[in-house]
Amino acid sequence: MVLTPWGLGVLGLCVGSFLNVVVHRMPRMLEARWQADAADMLGQPPPTAEPLSLSKPASRCPACGHAIRWYENIPVLSWLVLRGKCSACKTPISLRYPLVELATGGLFVLCGQQFGAQPTTLLWCGFVAVLLAAALIDWDTTLLPDDLTLPLMWAGLIAAALGWTTLPLTDALWGAVAGYLSLWSVYWLFKLTTGKEGMGYGDFKLLAALGAWLGWSMILPIVLGSSIIGAVVGIVMKVSGQLREGVYVPFGPFLAGAGLVVTLAGAPTVLEWLGWA
């Protein structure tokens, strides 16, 4: 039942609701962790902020503190019933919340169409969910948390080792190596040439994770596709005045987007598009 298109769609909506929590809270959890580490290194007392995790405290309206009831947290439907506003203070609720839920549901359905009604499809659903969360966090904060990229890389290697994906372990291993070293080399070449940092280490780790899941042969198509789309988006933002001076466009969302295209289209199709088949 879960592996049917309807089942995967409903599962994706629910996972998308959780991804909204991850995208909102994980950067704040990282900041709190950094503050605690800094205080410890300086010999100062730890911050006294309320403990924050992905499960606690319960969701509440950031404007008035209203605790979100279970029936106000039904994916998409609750947002529509509430007309996009808090039931207590009527503060608008961002449209991005239902859009993330719908996007996750759609991606899960597409995974079902690409990989069929088999248990390993759920692995790919988890893969695309983490990519979506990482892309949104990077777009919002220019951070790619190790808590997402590293487990994703190891999961790809373990899945290949156990035969849960069709990718041989050797291809997955070299995919991770090629993914990391390719952007690492670009980073240092750019830094030695210009004295500036062109990207963050999180990009290396994300591409390593993509290589672990999709193989070394997909590294170049992913880098090419993400670079072209990223350049176009950056130019459009610059021309339209949306790109502030000194602020760069994060590369992670475009890496994740290219990875999603390869995942859902399939490596043979992508190679055929490029004329490399």
Residue where a domain terminates, one of 118, 153, 171: 118
Do 147 and 251 fall into the same domain?
yes
Residue 129 lies in a domain: no
CB neighbours of residue 51 within 10 Å? 8
Residue 242 lies in a domain: yes
pLDDT beyond 70 at 238:
yes
Report the percentage of the chain scoring pLDDT > 90.
66
Do 197 and 270 fall into the same domain?
yes
Residue where a domain terminates, one of 118, 134, 161: 118
**Residue pointed to by tokens 């019933």:** 81
- Which of residues 223 and 275 earns the better pLDDT score? 223
Calpha distance 27→145 (Å, rounded): 8
Beta bridge mates, 60: 67
Contacts within 8 Å (CB) and 24+ apart, 34-41: none
Residues 166-177 have a mean pLDDT of 96
Residues 190-210 have a mean pLDDT of 90
Do 113 and 147 fall into the same domain?
no
Residue 275 has a pLDDT of 84
Calpha distance 148→19 (Å, rounded): 12
**DSSP 8-state symbol, 217:** G
Q: What is the 3-state secondary structure (H, E, C) of 136-180?
A: HHHHHHCCCCHHHHHHHHHHHHHHHHCCCCCCCHHHHHHHHHHHH
Calpha distance 120→112 (Å, rounded): 10
Cβ(260)–Cβ(107) below 8 Å:
yes
Do 51 and 102 fall into the same domain?
yes
Residue 5 has a pLDDT of 87
Do 75 and 195 fall into the same domain?
no
Residue 233 lies in a domain: yes
Burial letters for 213-229: b for 16+ Cβ neighbours within 10 Å, e otherwise?
bbbbbbbebbbebbeeb
pLDDT beyond 80 at 277:
no
Residues 103-124 have a mean pLDDT of 95
- In the structure, what pLDDT confidence band is assigned to residue 1 with cuts at 50, 70 and 90? confident
Residue 135 lies in a domain: no
Report the percentage of the chain scoring pLDDT > 70.
98
Residue 247 has a pLDDT of 66
Residues 250-262 have a mean pLDDT of 95
Residue 147 has a pLDDT of 96
Residues 14-31 have a mean pLDDT of 95
Residue where a domain terminates, one of 101, 118, 135: 118
Do 163 and 247 fall into the same domain?
yes
Nearest to 60 by CA among 76, 72, 43: 72
Cβ(125)–Cβ(11) below 8 Å:
yes
Residue numbers of the domain that contains 248: 143-277
CB-based contacts of 243, cutoff 8 Å, min separation 6: 234, 237, 249
Calpha distance 206→153 (Å, rounded): 8
pLDDT tens column, 23-39: 999 999 999 888 888 88
pLDDT beyond 70 at 193:
yes
Q: Which two tokens stand for residue 199?
A: 């990207």
Residue 246 has a pLDDT of 60
- In the structure, what pLDDT confidence band is assigned to residue 244 with cuts at 50, 70 and 90? low
Out of 31-35, 95-99, 201-205, least confident range: 31-35
- Give how far Cα 112 sits from Cα of 231, 254, 274, Å: 32, 23, 25
Give the gyration radius of the chain's Cα atoms: 20
Do 48 and 95 fall into the same domain?
yes
pLDDT, averaged across the chain: 92
Phi then psi for residue 197, to 5 deg, are: -95, 120
Residue 79 lies in a domain: yes
Do 222 and 170 fall into the same domain?
yes
- In the structure, what pLDDT confidence band is assigned to residue 276 with cuts at 50, 70 and 90? confident
Out of 84-98, 139-153, 240-254, least confident range: 240-254
Please give the tally of structural domains in the chain: 2
Do 148 and 270 fall into the same domain?
yes
pLDDT tens column, 37-96: 888 888 888 777 778 889 888 888 888 888 899 899 999 999 999 999 999 899 999 999
Do 84 and 187 fall into the same domain?
no
Residue 125 lies in a domain: no
Residue 53 lies in a domain: yes
Nearest to 3 by CA among 111, 104, 159, 101: 111
Q: What is the 3-state secondary structure (H, E, C) of 39-77?
A: HHHCCCCCCCCCCCCCCCCCCECCCCCCECCHHHCCCCH
Residue 124 lies in a domain: no
Do 114 and 176 fall into the same domain?
no
Q: Which two tokens stand for residue 46?
A: 């730890």
pLDDT beyond 80 at 153:
yes
Do 62 and 187 fall into the same domain?
no
Residue 44 has a pLDDT of 86
Residue 196 has a pLDDT of 81
Q: Which two tokens stand for residue 276?
A: 């490399």
